Each structure stands twice: as structure tokens, then as C-alpha cells.
Amino acid sequence: MVYKTSCLLLPLALVFLDFIITSSLAKPIPTTFINVLTYGAKPDGSTDSTKAFLAAWQVACASVNPTTIIVPKGRFLVGNLVFQGKKCTDTPISIRIAGSLIAPEDYRIVASSEQWIWFESVTDVSIYGGILDAQGSSLWNCKNNGGSNCPTGAKTLLFSGSNNININGLTSINSQKFHIVINSCNNVNIDGVKVSADANSPNTDGIHIQSSHLVSITNSRIGTGDDCISIGPGSTHVSIQGIQCGPGHGISIGSLGIAEEEQGVENVTVSNVDFTATSNGVRIKTWAKNSKSFARNIVFQHINMQMVKNPIIIDQHYCFYKPCPKQESGVEVSNVRYEDIHGTSSTDVAVKLDCSKEKPCTGIVMDNVNLALQLVNQPAQASCSNANGLANDVVIPFTPCLKRDILMT
């Protein structure tokens, strides 16, 4: 029997040995390196390098080998950049930035196109390092001073209709509008980014996700005048971990339900986040109008709140445009879990579950939640309407609409 077994294993061993020899002889695919200086880019902060960056992209796009575009140290002035991927070979493209890309000082130049740097329909694109400075402060001033001719502004970095995207170690400052936008993309990893804008800068969301799937945001520091991270309709399987948020409006799912026929949001996990002096902590907001949208299977866990105005909030009566319609939200909020959330609230009401009469929130679970008033270190209050679920372990403040889990008593 031993002899027969050895004979059977011998062909397998030879096949394995042949695989090892063949693999060792296989040559690695070479990487092509492209320097934007070769195409006329100038790191002086005043010469328009837009055409040079686009030329470098065209070469990388047509390459049959993996390509790395190198942006060396210095300040590169660029206008609107649109990197099209529809005609690319889909071999991996890496962009390694040692310096800074700077938008024109006149905000109207890039604001007219609604995005400053746009990657459209690309695959296997990675960005490493670098600073994007959109110089948006003059537009903020225009808006904050009630200017009637202020444009909406440009998003700093937009990926749309794209797959397998990596953004690592990037810094985005002074965006005119949203800093980083992921729209209709699949498999996106964002790690170690820094996002910064003044606390009074309007609509400068740090990272906005919409209609995208398998998105991971990790180990990042975000402080803006709006949401640190916002998750819009049609987004699924989103993981957010290791974030420092503040100043800003917190991490928001929504707003949802502005349109009646709208996709929902599901399977979102927000974990290990520090909120400091933000207007909200973890928020779900939906428009007070008819909608078939939903937010479900959401987990907020391992979160620290310091001086946060609304640490935990579900707002199903959100309305920005006045007068607001006297309607109830049709967005269905269900299966939302709050676990291991501690810290301080800057207002009396630390937990606010303001749900819809038409579609009450269901499956709300709180487990090990302890929020105190900021100054007096006393338990805060909870406000609760049209919501139901369970309260496990310690839940402070007491949330009357959540039943005590019998198994935990």
C-alpha cells in the first residue's frame, strides 16, 4: 500500500516541481516611469502645467505595462484636469506625488466645471502622497458674505464610474466644495488621508460616497466646515475605521429621500472614531417627504465623543430649503446598532431619535453607551419619537423608546 501511494504522489510532485521552475524563470512585468517634468510641467507655482499632466496621463493610459506617473517636489499650478479611462489599456497606473498641485487663485476658473481633478471610468488607479490645494477661501468668503453671483464651487478630487481605486497618504486642503468624492465606483480604498478646511467653509465635506460599493476609509484625519464623511444614496458595504473628525458636522448617512425613487444605503460600519467639537457625531438624516429609499444594517461602534453637540442623532425631518413641506419621511430606517460609545455632549440632549410617523425606525439597538454633559459631567438626556428597539448593558442617557433586553437583565 505504501508503494502504491508513493506512485500516485510522484506525478503530482513532478507537476509541482515544474510549476516552481517555470515560476522562477518567469520575468516580472516591467513598470514604466513617467515624470511630468518631461512633458513641460514646472514646479514654480506660477506656470500652467495642465497640459503637461494630461500628456503624461495619455502616455500612461496607452501603456501595456504598469505605469507610475511621478510628480516631484514643488508647486504645480493646474487648471481643470480630466483623466479619461475609457480608452485606456486598463493596466495599473500609479501617481506618486511628492509636491503640491495648486488650483488657480481665481476660483471661477475651476468652479465653472464643478470639479477640479476628475478621474472618469478608470480602473486600477492609485494615488500616493501629495497635497491638493484648491485655494477655495475666496469662494468661501463670497458665500459667507451673501454674494449673489457666487458659483457652487468645484469638488477637489472626483472618481466616477471607476473600479479598483487606491488613495493613500493624500492631503487635500482648502477645497471649494467637497474634497474627495467617490461616485458610482467599486472597490475603493482610502487610507491615511488628511483633509482640512476652515470650520466656516460651506459645503466642504471631507469625503463623500454615492452609488458606490465596497468602499473602505481608514486611518484618516478630517476637519472641515461640513460633514467629515457623508454617505449618499446607492452606497453599500462601506467600512469606516480609525478616523479623527473635527471640526465639522460629523459622519452622516444622507441626506436620503430628496427624490421619491431613490436607492438606499445598507451595510455600513463606522468604527474607532474620535469626534472633537463637531456639531454632530454619528447621524442619519432623511428628507421630510415621500420616498422609497432606506437606510439599514448600520453599525456605529467604539466611538469617543468630546464636546459634540449631537453625539447620536437620527433626523427624519431634515429640510434645507424653506418653506419645508409638512410631510413625514418615507425613508425606512432599520437595524441600526450603537455600541461602545462614550464621551461628552455640549448640549443637554445627547441622543436624539427623531423618526418618521409614516415609517418609524425599527431594530434600533444600543449597547454600552455612556454620554455625559460636557461641563457638569452629569448624564445627558435622550429624545425619542417613532423609534423602537432594545437597550443592552449600560445605556446612558436612558432612552425611553428602547426596551431593556430581557436577556441582559
Active site residues: 249
Residue whose C-alpha is closest to residue 170's, from 189, 191, 193, 188:
193
Residues 6+ apart with CB under 8 A from 178: 155, 156, 203, 204, 205, 206, 208
Helix ranges (DSSP H) in 26-78:
50-62
Instruction: Report DSSP state, residue 27.
Output: P
The answer to whether residues 252 and 222 touch, using CB atoms and an 8 Å cutoff, is no
Helix, strand or coil, per DSSP, at residue 357: coil
Residues 6+ apart with CB under 8 A from 3: none
Residue with cell 451595510: 267
The answer to whether residues 399 and 353 touch, using CB atoms and an 8 Å cutoff, is yes
Can the peptide bond before residue 255 be classed as cis, meaning omega within 30 degrees of 0? yes
Whole-angstrom distance, CA of residue 361 vs CA of residue 331 = 9
Whole-angstrom distance, CA of residue 93 vs CA of residue 91 = 7
**Quick count: other Cβ atoms within 10 Å of Cβ 157?**
25
Whole-angstrom distance, CA of residue 370 vs CA of residue 98 = 43
Whole-angstrom distance, CA of residue 104 vs CA of residue 29 = 39
Question: Helices then strands (H, E): number in the chain?
Answer: 4, 31
**Quick count: other Cβ atoms within 10 Å of Cβ 17?**
10
Whole-angstrom distance, CA of residue 122 vs CA of residue 225 = 30
